[in-house]
Amino acid sequence: MDEEMHGEKKSILLVAMPFAGSMIPSIQLPILEGYLKERGINIKTRHLYLKAAEFYGINSYNFLINPPNNSYIAQMAFTKFVFPEHWKQTEDKCRKYFNERILRHLDNYNVSAFDNYVQQTDCFYHWILNNVDWKSYDIIGFTLNYGQLLPSLAVAKKIKEQYPEKKIIFGGSRTTDQLGVNVLQAFDYVDFIVSGDGEETLHHLASDYQNYEFIPRLMYRLEKKVIWNQSDSYIDLNTLQVPDFDPFYEELNQSSKEVQQFFHMNGRLPVEISRGCWWNKCTFCNLNIQHPFYREKNVKKKPSEI
């Protein structure tokens, strides 16, 4: 266990990577930020998918992630940084797949479209590494939902190379239950996984790091074995603050005019009124794994938040 992680509270940087949607801000970041700030944790959040939309161009970004395409295919070029040898061997196959699957619905497209996509991915990746203040934070967290796994792995890998003392933590629907165990087994530069609610887990990790073996919903390695601190306790949603989207708007105001105009015309703010699913029977849905029972805020709190 690292001595520098003992003692005082640890600072946290939470980021949302592409390919999150461009019309609705990531609600996870303001919820976690509000909870941790209320408890005296130094935390900053970054909506980095906005910068990605600027590099790709908002129309191209939306084309990549929305039907008939999807955000999973859009991650393809980040393979270059996560599995560089595999990328060298399969780049031509990726080009063919990109042209046949992503561009197949266009009547006319530039034959260099794949190369442009790869170049834009390169530019975004290097901008992120050089312009985000990674070194000022002890714990760097990535929220993972649709289409964010490979971009998050790519950046986490480089952060760990440059700053091996930083602790990398993943959370979200892509790392729930066995998915989280698999990530820790496969990628040694990821230190922790949160499976389920992240508020209490992050708070304990930042304020009582030396006892992380007892932090609920945390996954970590003990030698070569992955340990999962499963817990039956869950946060009361009525105790959470109204999400503060000021950091999102600050980031939006630093984005290109194109991205700003798109959000002002099409953007919406999310509201959280429940977690889990009242039906809780669909075998294909990992929401039932992430939140094993349904919770909702009380009736008076819902309209007041809206």
What is the rounded average pLDDT of the residues 282-288? 78
> 195: which 2 tokens?
């499976």
What integer best gives the mean pLDDT of the chain?
Answer: 91
Question: How would you label 290-300 residue by residue, b for 16+ Cβ within 10 Å and e otherwise?
Answer: bbeeebebeee
Residue 5 reports pLDDT greater than 60: no
DSSP state of 271: -
Helix locations, the chain, DSSP H: 28-38, 49-56, 58-65, 71-74, 79-82, 84-97, 113-131, 149-162, 178-186, 199-207, 246-253, 257-266, 287-290, 301-305
Cα(33)–Cα(47) distance, integer angstroms: 12
The whole-angstrom separation of Cα 142 and Cα 144 is 6
Cis upstream peptide for 68 (omega within 30°): yes
- Model confidence at 176, in pLDDT bands (50, 70, 90)? confident
Q: Considering only CA atoms, which of 78, 70, 76 is closest in space to residue 105? A: 70
pTM: 0.92
Q: Is the pLDDT score of 282 beyond 70? A: yes
β-bridge pairing 225-228 and 139-143: unpaired
What is the band of 289 on the pLDDT scale with cuts at 50, 70, 90? confident
Confidence of residue 3 (pLDDT cuts 50, 70, 90): very low
pLDDT band at 7, cuts 50/70/90? low
Please state the domain extents for the chain: 3-273
pLDDT for res 100: 83
> What are the pLDDT digits (tens) for 75-118?
999 999 999 999 999 999 999 988 888 877 665 556 568 999 99
Closest alpha carbon to 215 in 205, 227, 225, 207:
205
Specify the pLDDT at position 80: 96
Q: What is the pLDDT of residues 117-167, one digit of tens each?
A: 999 999 999 999 999 999 999 999 999 988 999 999 999 999 999 999 999
The DSSP secondary structure of 177-232, one letter per residue, reads: THHHHHHHHH-TT--EEE-S--HHHHHHHHH-GGGGGG-TTEEEEETTEEEE---S
Computed on alpha carbons and rounded to an integer, the radius of gyration of the chain in Å comes to 20
Q: How far apart are CA 77 and CA 151, in angstroms?
A: 9
Q: What is the pLDDT of residue 108?
A: 54
pLDDT (0 to 100) of residue 1: 42
Q: How far is the C-alpha of 243 from the C-alpha of 251, rounded, in Å?
A: 16
Contact 19, 87 (CB under 8 A): no
CA distance 218 to 193: 6
Structure-token pair, residue 303: 């309209």
The winner for highest mean pLDDT among 159-163, 213-217, 235-239, 273-277 is: 159-163
Cα gap 151→108, rounded to integer Å: 29
pLDDT tens, residue by residue, 15-46: 999 999 999 999 999 999 999 999 999 999 99
Q: How many CA atoms lie within 13 A of 282 on its CB side?
A: 10
Spatial distance between the Cα atoms of 289 and 280, rounded to a whole number of angstroms: 9
